[in-house]
A = this chain, B = another copy of it.
Amino acid sequence: MSAAAIEDVYPSRLTSEPQFNARVDPVVYGGGPGSWLSPEDLQHFEEHGYLFVEHLIGTTEVRELADELRSLSRDEHLRNQEEMITEPGSGAVRSIFRVHRLSPVFERLARNVRLLDVARQVLGSEVYIHQSRANFKPGFMGKEFYWHSDFETWHVEDGMPRMRAISVSVALTENYSFNGPLMVMPGSHKTYVSCVGQTPEDHYKQSLKKQEYGVPDDENLRRLAEGGGIVAPTGPAGSAVFFDCNTIHGSNSNITPHPRTNVFFVYNSVDNALQEPFCGLEPRPEHIATRESFAPLTPVERG
Binding site for B on A (CB under 8 A): 139-140, 144, 146-147, 176-178, 180, 183, 218, 221-222, 225-226, 230, 232, 250-258
Are the CB atoms of B253 and A178 closer together than 8 Å? Answer: no
The CA of A176 and the CA of B225, in the complex, are separated in Å by 13
Are the CB atoms of A140 and B256 closer together than 8 Å? Answer: no
Are the CB atoms of A252 and B250 closer together than 8 Å? Answer: no
Which residues of chain B come closer than 8 Å to A232, judged between CB atoms?
177-178
- What are 21 of the A-B contact pairs (CB < 8 Å)? A139-B222, A140-B221, A144-B253, A146-B255, A147-B255, A177-B177, A177-B232, A178-B230, A178-B232, A178-B252, A183-B255, A183-B256, A222-B257, A225-B256, A226-B257, A230-B256, A250-B255, A251-B255, A252-B252, A252-B255, A253-B253
In the complex, how many angstroms separate the beta carbon of A258 from the nearest chain B beta carbon?
Answer: 8
Chain copies in complex: 2
Which residues of chain B come closer than 8 Å to A256, judged between CB atoms?
183, 225, 230, 252
Which residues of chain B come closer than 8 Å to A147, judged between CB atoms?
255
Which residues of chain B come closer than 8 Å to A230, judged between CB atoms?
176, 178, 256
In the complex, how many angstroms separate the beta carbon of A216 from the nearest chain B beta carbon?
Answer: 11
In the complex, how many angstroms separate the beta carbon of A125 from the nearest chain B beta carbon?
Answer: 34
The CA of A218 and the CA of B221, in the complex, are separated in Å by 35
Q: Please, which residue of chain B has its CB at the minimum distance from the CB of A217?
A: B140
In the complex, how many angstroms separate the beta carbon of A139 from the nearest chain B beta carbon?
Answer: 8
Q: Please, which residue of chain B has its CB at the minimum distance from the CB of A181?
A: B178
In the complex, how many angstroms separate the beta carbon of A164 from the nearest chain B beta carbon?
Answer: 28
In the complex, how many angstroms separate the beta carbon of A236 from the nearest chain B beta carbon?
Answer: 15
Which residues of chain B come closer than 8 Å to A258, judged between CB atoms?
225
The CA of A257 and the CA of B177, in the complex, are separated in Å by 17
Which residues of chain B come closer than 8 Å to A226, judged between CB atoms?
257
In the complex, how many angstroms separate the beta carbon of A31 from the nearest chain B beta carbon?
Answer: 36
Which residues of chain B come closer than 8 Å to A139, judged between CB atoms?
218, 222
The CA of A176 and the CA of B229, in the complex, are separated in Å by 11
The CA of A250 and the CA of B142, in the complex, are separated in Å by 14
In the complex, how many angstroms separate the beta carbon of A232 from the nearest chain B beta carbon?
Answer: 5
Q: Please, which residue of chain B has its CB at the minimum distance from the CB of A144?
A: B253
Which residues of chain B come closer than 8 Å to A140, judged between CB atoms?
218, 221
In the complex, how many angstroms separate the beta carbon of A211 from the nearest chain B beta carbon?
Answer: 11
The CA of A255 and the CA of B148, in the complex, are separated in Å by 11
Are the CB atoms of A255 and B144 closer together than 8 Å? Answer: yes
Are the CB atoms of B178 and A257 closer together than 8 Å? Answer: no
In the complex, how many angstroms separate the beta carbon of A208 from the nearest chain B beta carbon?
Answer: 17
- Known: A140-B221, A250-B255; 8 extra A-B contacts, CB below 8 A, are A139-B218, A144-B255, A147-B255, A178-B230, A222-B257, A252-B254, A252-B255, A253-B253
